Structure 1
Amino acid sequence: MMKRFLTSVIDPFLLVLLATVGLAALLPAQGQAADILDVVAGIAIALLFFFHGAKLSREAILAGLGHWRLHLTVLGFTFAIFPVLGLGAGFLAPALISPVIAAGVLYLCLLPSTVQSSIAFVSIAGGNVPAAICSASASNLLGIFLTPVLVGLLMHTTGQAGVSLDALRSIIVQLLVPFVAGHLLRPLIGGFVQKHKQVISYTDRGSILLVIYSAFSAAVVEGLWHKVDIGDIAMIVVISSVILGIVLYLSGLAGRLFGFSREDRIVLVFCGSKKSLVSGVPMASVLFPVAQVGLIILPLMIFHQIQLIICTWLAAKYRREGLGEGQGD
């Protein structure tokens, strides 16, 4: 039973990710190798967003558009409630964590929701899967525009660098153009993408690992482990857990206050509480100086595992309750 529990809550990819961080700590890329790695990582990021665009189904989006109140509520949690909590954490903890890590906590709060895991948890819990597909896809699509804007507005106010014209140009070239190209080519390559989605998932994860290795290599060269200790990591765990707990509670409460069905409340809880590692890591490499990226994405990496653990338990709880109620409201 313990083995089954650990398998369900610990994402195997997280172990590979941690190994990548360890490799960067022992053998960081430097000099010309780092320059070549940056170019390769940039190409991988473009491919990641190209395939994201190719996987986005217009039919699925249209099928869920009727639930506009639900989708707006999910987006409100993703791009309004979360940022407020991120700002609050930064104001409450300046003496407890470094400003860069506090910026990382705020950054994770500005990211869009996940797609695959949100839909999977909604399905396990017995929620409205078509609506979850629509909400999660809309969040990811809008995040390409909204996250950089929120970074420019909110992280600038906390003393961090805003979004420069070069960063905006990089976002358009590296993220938006490949995404749009992939979506426009969906009628031609959609079948291929669907057939080889397992292989493409390795492309997604491979690009993230490249960015993480590049980011942590630069951070190690700049003295990362002299800036972060076990107390910082423990504080990130506490802050992330508190933020996630507040969002889960408020989303459940909002679902009842707004009169959503049980199935739609499940969508709100799971789609409104997630933050995307897949989108967050590449965006950070575009938005922030290379030497800061490792510290910026550290809270996101920790939050990612916490949300998987809590939501695995919560989805199973919803499923048991649904079976007990005959899936009624």
Structure 2
Amino acid sequence: MASPFHDVSSTQPSMSYKQSGLSRALDKGFVRLTIICASGVALTLLLIAFQVGRDAIPAIQEFGLKFLTTSRWNPVESIYGAWTQIYGTLVTSFMALLIALPIGVGVAIVLSEDFLPLKVQKPLVFMIELLAAIPSVVYGLWGIFVLAPILQGPSLWLYQHFKWIPLFSTPPTGRGIYIAGIVLAIMILPIVAAISRDSLVAVPSELRQAAYGLGATRWETLFQVIIPTAISGIIGGAMLALGRAMGETMAVTMLIGNSSVPSPSLLAQGSTISSLLANQFAEADGLQISALMYAALVLFGLTLVVNVFAEMIVSRVRMKV
């Protein structure tokens, strides 16, 4: 007697997929091309570091680590120290990040949630990302002719009432560290906002629905589920923006004043490593070129430390989440 149950698998067509020889060759070729491109990027980075380090050797031998702790920069006497530029780079970059990070994350929250109609949300996303396409020289001109006159009154008020605080101990001159930091914050804002928004949008909708199912409110879901899940991407975007701020040249050169005199005041004029290179490299000669390369190597090291530190933070946050 035949069994009422028959082997279904024997009657259905096989679902196994076999790649053709051409498809396998294309896959292998794509993998090899990806490896070559990645290796090329790493090799380019190493070559840049080697070239800058080799040209900086005379200054390293001449000044050693004192180059990092002294602030006198005198090409006439061949005496060079980059502490003022290192300080200006760090202060303007972290000031920009301190301003741009909360604003950028707030913008990302507004643009990733349903706070605005879609017809309003899309143009805003486009306009914020368009800020990244504006040339830095335009930011510099805007800072000189628009931002500096606006901030002249508030900065003078800070000096008159709080000059006993070292951060406001010098009279404002129209250009200075604080103006450069604010313009840098505007320049890195699109990076923070765009990457933070992408991270928030990438959070699985199942987590949101599960939080709502447990009785969480919209804000509780946002701050206790969505943001903690996307925090690694937000931190990564912040560190990327910090690296961008540390390497900015033209806008900072136009706004910071390019003074080699060290001062703890944010209202004082200052200098950054990038602005130093932009101002002096074209006319440099001899040991001055090596000193500028030494300063460039320091900037290279600072950005490398920032990126390594960012990777460590992101890795730890991902493990906790």
Superposition TM-score tier, normalisation by shorter sequence: under 0.3
**Normalising to structure 1: TM-score of the pair?**
0.27
Larger radius of gyration: 2
- Greater relative contact order (Cα 8 A, min sep 6): structure 1 or 2? 1
Higher helix share: 1
